[in-house]
A and B are shown apart, each in its own frame.
Chain A
């Protein structure tokens, strides 16, 4: 195995809102490897989403470097970022972010058409991805006709079909009941183990910690290497 897929070195993000200066992420460093599920946990407002946005090349750090597959992407110009996201990164969101007007299958096809995958290949790949997440019977359903867990599985299929080596998930289970949430985490873990993807999951959900390879703890913008958190720790919602 070569170096890390994603690497943060001394990354900071400062928000300026009016006179206020919020240090959302404070000199965070971490490396993320293929075939590994990493959980980033921490209280609300600690900077987890901000960190994930920088990992996903959606947000530029105020300071520090982000390396994707060994390449310093902090130096990339704005116009090359969409292409990098398209090729390398799949997102899974707390609110699923499916396209309401499209069927499950069409939703999965969106990243494929952004990548200009040929017509001969794309539909088969999308169907396969939906099969992979157990939704072969739901391909023609619109999001409004799917349950929360099914919607999240469609969004996972969307990342699977795009064959992104990195999957970044922000609170993927927050809108789901615990059983469905478990299934989603298992699915993400499988993607890491079976397909060698680099999976990063941001979550409040402490029950997650037994199902991931590694935990990073975030508090007040500071990222620390894994520690197990007792389920009863005050100030952290289960």
Chain B
């Protein structure tokens, strides 16, 4: 026997059915929120993954470009303008164009062709599974991401495929390069990419600028903006953010995720407030008795609150455990899920906050109880 007796805990565990309903409700909400946000962040990571994996401090794109995946080419000679700006250490070109790959069994798939500079490797794949990055230099070598096999069919080094009527040769398999567009990514040399979409002839899609030591990026950006009159100039983070914002706001994706997350919060809140409220109603006589025995209002409210917080903590813990399993299964299916600690902290706060808010309704009800209620038969 523990002393003092934890009435909150004993009450909670006394009614097993209600406890199970409460915990299922809370943990369901917790898992829903953690997974939804994790998947969303994973997608956002994908949208910016190529940008984040370059060392370019500044990105230059065609004017009014909206995001990474749908950028228009502009004359590659503009590179020289950028190079002449004070504080620019180097400028590298990167192509991203859409094209069509013929499939072995007939039919074709849209692909995103990324043309990078094979000598520096900037903008190329960052995790190789097989083959060598430098091999894209010769005979229209391409590197395909393993995640694209489901769409394009299995490929191995030495295979030949046809993109936009041009025969390409698989020289490498990479990992982790997925686009939110779900189109397979084909990495190749800058030169080859220019052949795989006529719009890219004599053109680049991005210029990646490295800032020289001793110069501040903002100042270089300001100078570049003056010079690059027909282009847009962004810092790397700004460009990544712009791309993520595009996918979140302009595609309905943000609304979709936001809605599901909101549903998670609401479902959790409704179940928690419902079960805590009904538990309070059921214990009103006991709370009255406690008061008759000399418990202050604070003690009684503390009891209700503790009951709610305890439910929240247990529900969250179960939700976390389920989340580990679900996230693992999701990752095994080849998707990326990103769950930073801030997500867990935030969801914990939301869960406990909901429980506290729900218990305040119950406290309000407990306050209204007729003190003579304890004498009723």
Contact = CB atoms under 8 A, between A and B. Distances in A.
A11 interface: no
Interface stretch (A30-38, A106-114, A183-191, A212-220): A106-114
B10 A114 contact: no
A102 B5 contact: yes
Contacts of A175: 377
Contacts, number: 101
A119 interface: yes
A94 B5 contact: no
A109 B3 contact: yes
B3 A49 contact: no
A76 interface: no
B5 A85 contact: no
A24 B182 CA distance: 78
Given A53-B372, A101-B13, A115-B294, A94 B377 contact: yes
A123 interface: yes
Interface in A102-131: 102-103, 105-106, 109-111, 113-115, 119, 122-123
Interface in A48-104: 49-50, 52-53, 56, 58-59, 79, 82-87, 89, 91, 93-95, 97, 99-103
B132 interface: no
B138 to A, nearest CB: 77
A106 B292 contact: no
Contacts of A163: none
Contact of A82 (B13, B15, B294): B294
A174 interface: yes
B293 A114 contact: yes
Interface in B1-22: 1, 3-5, 7, 10-11, 13-15
B278 interface: no
Secondary structure at the B interface, as helix, strand, loop or mixed, is helix
Interface size class of B (residues with CB under 8 A): 20 to 34
A170 B15 CA distance: 29
B376 interface: yes
B5 A170 contact: no
A100 B10 CA distance: 9
Which of A56, A102, A105 has the most chain B CB atoms inside 10 A of its CB? A102
Question: Sorted from nearest, which 8 A-B pairs have the closest CB atoms?
Answer: A86-B294, A101-B14, A113-B4, A85-B294, A101-B10, A97-B289, A82-B296, A106-B5
Interface of B: 1, 3-5, 7, 10-11, 13-15, 285-286, 288-297, 299, 371-372, 374-377
22 contacts: A50-B372, A58-B291, A58-B374, A59-B372, A79-B296, A82-B294, A82-B296, A85-B294, A89-B294, A91-B292, A94-B377, A97-B286, A99-B7, A99-B289, A100-B286, A101-B15, A102-B10, A109-B1, A109-B4, A113-B3, A113-B4, A114-B290
